Structure 1
Amino acid sequence: MSGKPTVYVYELDPATAAYALTGIHHDRLTLTVPFAVDVDLTAIDRL
């Protein structure tokens, strides 16, 4: 374990009503759905 943040992103599949993994982000979280998100995950632990 590196001690750095890891974000797992899931999306609901309407056909199966189940969540599916769509990405694993380590340094930067960038999404466009359901809205635009851009987070520098390396900056979370900086003081």
Structure 2
Amino acid sequence: MPIDSSQKPDPPSRLEISPQFLFRSFGFSLCFVFIILLRCFPFKL
């Protein structure tokens, strides 16, 4: 899955990368919130 950034340096091309960035940030925030929840409420898993 090659990313031709040199072929399309237009702003619209950056919008294609935004879903992946949103997914990454969402996963990171989810893990961060999960860790905070575990620290605030120590569950006995």
- TM-score class, shorter-chain normalisation, is under 0.3
Bigger relative CO (Cα 8 Å, ≥ 6 apart): 1
State the structure with more CA Rg.
2
Q: Which structure is higher in helix share?
A: 2
For normalisation by structure 2, the TM-score amounts to 0.20
For normalisation by structure 1, the TM-score amounts to 0.20
